[in-house]
Amino acid sequence: MAKKRNKRIAGKPNSNGGRRLVPNAASANQRTYTISDYRLEQPDFTIRQVRKGDAVSYEVTGDFNAPVAPIRESKYLNRKQCIEIYRWMLLNRKMEAALENLYKQGKVVGGVYFGLGQEACSCASAYALQKEDWLGPLIRNQGSTLVRGFSPRDIMMQYMARAGSPTKGRDASSHFGDIQERNVVAPISTLGDLIPVLAGVALGARLQGRNIAAMTYIGDGGQSTGVTYEGLNFAAVQDLGLVLFIENNLWAYSTPADMQFRVKDLAERAIAYGIPGVIVDGTDACQVYDAAHEACERARHGEGPTLIEAKMMRMKGHAIHDAADYVPKPLLEYWRKRDPIARFENYLLNVKKWLSPTENRELIAGVDQQLEADREFAVASPMPQPESAGGGVYCENGCHQIKPKFGTPRAKVGKSASFKQTEAAVHLK
């Protein structure tokens, strides 16, 4: 049985270029709003919790035999860019497979988080960023981190807590960023907190007289937090260039999306913020890129935030310790047929004929080679010295030169560079 929920709110496209979300004039006492939906298929499943005695399980109903839709033609990507994104997705997946092996060999300190099935969302979204833009990934967005310039060896060393890792062995998971070169804010485990931080980054840039795109992610579970509302509402009110991906992968730990929210599509939340909302198939790299690119362009033109809901499926458990036995098998099989890499590979090889089978084999071999070299390097790299454990906590005797990346605001240049309410317009030192 298909889900019976609020009907999607539909109407004419915005007449003002999408800058402000205005109600479509349906009638005097009824308003309708527009949510763009880029998908070529609209999976519709209901997941219900079933209790038998003390045992809890989930049942899913829907059409599991629906044919897989083709990849949607990108309005912006060319051959070279599509192949690059495909390579990032492969690197993302194969690096996670290598991490799983390292974990099983007892080399990983802590757990491993996977983005299996979500590679298109991570890689194609980050690919839409330009150098001056910023990224705030979550732990499942290792693909975004790769696209932004971290290498598989950085990530492997991080998981093994090696001295050469981005946090010098002081964190056993992916809480690392780079605010100097790559403009990456470290993942924050308190879900939703990255949203006001990235809004703040966009505000900081605005105060320097520039509009940038500040992209971050939140899950279907994490979007329920109060700080998600606060951060996005602040970005909306200030017209900040926040690009928020809601990664709706149908599960938050073992809670199915149907027990997490009542709206049909999380993109509908955008209406209440007064910003554009877009739905994409998170397993289609072209759709993800196009929505991300358009949102980033809006951000760079000072037109404010965009909320993009990427629909897909978490194809593994929450982390390596979770076998995800609670996930109904037909749901996994349905989404396995929509594997983002297999779909994109088919698109490049058979639909567009942009890659020959030989070129594809060479590309895959290149990824394998790179990963093997990085794995060897990471495994051979030393553990940190015990005395270094407390380093980076207190700044003593000037050991750290903490200088702001951007200058402080000092003079007025006009409205575009303003903090909206105060009109405190500024420019770079």
Q: Which are the catalytic amino acids?
A: 314, 318, 326
Q: Which stretch binds ligand TPP (CB under 6 A): 101-109, 170-178, 221-229, 305-313?
A: 221-229
Cβ closest to ligand TPP, residue 222 vs residue 276: 222
Determine, following the binding rule CB under 6 A, whether residue 219 of this chain makes contact with ligand TPP.
yes
The answer to whether the CB of 2 falls within 8 A of the CB of 46 is yes
Determine, following the binding rule CB under 6 A, whether residue 188 of this chain makes contact with ligand TPP.
no
Residue 352, binding choice from ligand TPP, Mg ion, none, Cβ under 5 to 8 Å by partner class: none
Residue 43, binding choice from Mg ion, ligand TPP, none, Cβ under 5 to 8 Å by partner class: none
Q: Which of 46, 81, 151, 225 binds ligand TPP (CB under 6 A)?
A: 225
Separation of alpha carbons 340 and 121, rounded Å: 9
Separation of alpha carbons 21 and 188, rounded Å: 30
Q: Which stretch binds ligand TPP (CB under 6 A): 33-41, 185-193, 358-366, 369-377?
A: 185-193
Separation of alpha carbons 275 and 232, rounded Å: 9
Calculate the alpha carbon distances from 18 to 46, 299, 390 in Å. Answer: 32, 12, 49
Residue 190, binding choice from ligand TPP, Mg ion, none, Cβ under 5 to 8 Å by partner class: ligand TPP
Longest dimension (CA), the chain: 71
Q: What is the 3-state secondary structure (H, E, C) of 347-374?
A: HHHHHCCCCCHHHHHHHHHHHHHHHHHH
- Pairing verdict, β 134-136 and 46-52: unpaired
The answer to whether the CB of 112 falls within 8 A of the CB of 142 is no
Backbone torsion region of residue 213, taken as left when φ is above 0, otherwise alpha when ψ lies between -120 and 50, otherwise beta: beta
Cβ closest to ligand TPP, residue 18 vs residue 277: 277
| Min CB(189)–ligand TPP separation in Å | 5
Determine, following the binding rule CB under 6 A, whether residue 34 of this chain makes contact with ligand TPP.
no
Q: End-to-end CA distance of the chain: give it in Å, rounded.
A: 61
Determine, following the binding rule CB under 6 A, whether residue 276 of this chain makes contact with ligand TPP.
no
The answer to whether the CB of 369 falls within 8 A of the CB of 147 is no
* Nearest residue to 266 via CA among 1, 6, 2: 6
Determine, following the binding rule CB under 6 A, whether residue 189 of this chain makes contact with ligand TPP.
yes
Tokens coding 75: 């309005």
| Min CB(138)–ligand TPP separation in Å | 7
Determine, following the binding rule CB under 6 A, whether residue 222 of this chain makes contact with ligand TPP.
yes
| Min CB(319)–ligand TPP separation in Å | 9
Cβ closest to ligand TPP, residue 157 vs residue 185: 185
Q: Which of 103, 251, 335, 344 binds ligand TPP (CB under 6 A)?
A: 251
Give me the residue whose beta carbon is nearest to ligand TPP. Answer: 219
What residue has token string 């629909």?
311
Total chain residues near ligand TPP (CB under 6 A): 16
Q: Which of 72, 168, 314, 343 binds ligand TPP (CB under 6 A)?
A: 314
Q: Which of 221, 256, 276, 340 binds ligand TPP (CB under 6 A)?
A: 221
Cβ closest to Mg ion, residue 45 vs residue 234: 45
Cβ closest to Mg ion, residue 141 vs residue 249: 249
3-class SS of residue 179: coil
Separation of alpha carbons 159 and 155, rounded Å: 6
What residue has token string 């209901």?
46
* Nearest residue to 38 via CA among 80, 82, 76, 79: 76
Determine, following the binding rule CB under 6 A, whether residue 187 of this chain makes contact with ligand TPP.
no
Determine, following the binding rule CB under 6 A, whether residue 191 of this chain makes contact with ligand TPP.
yes
The footprint of ligand TPP (CB under 6 A) covers 140, 189-191, 219-222, 225, 247, 249, 251-253, 314, 318
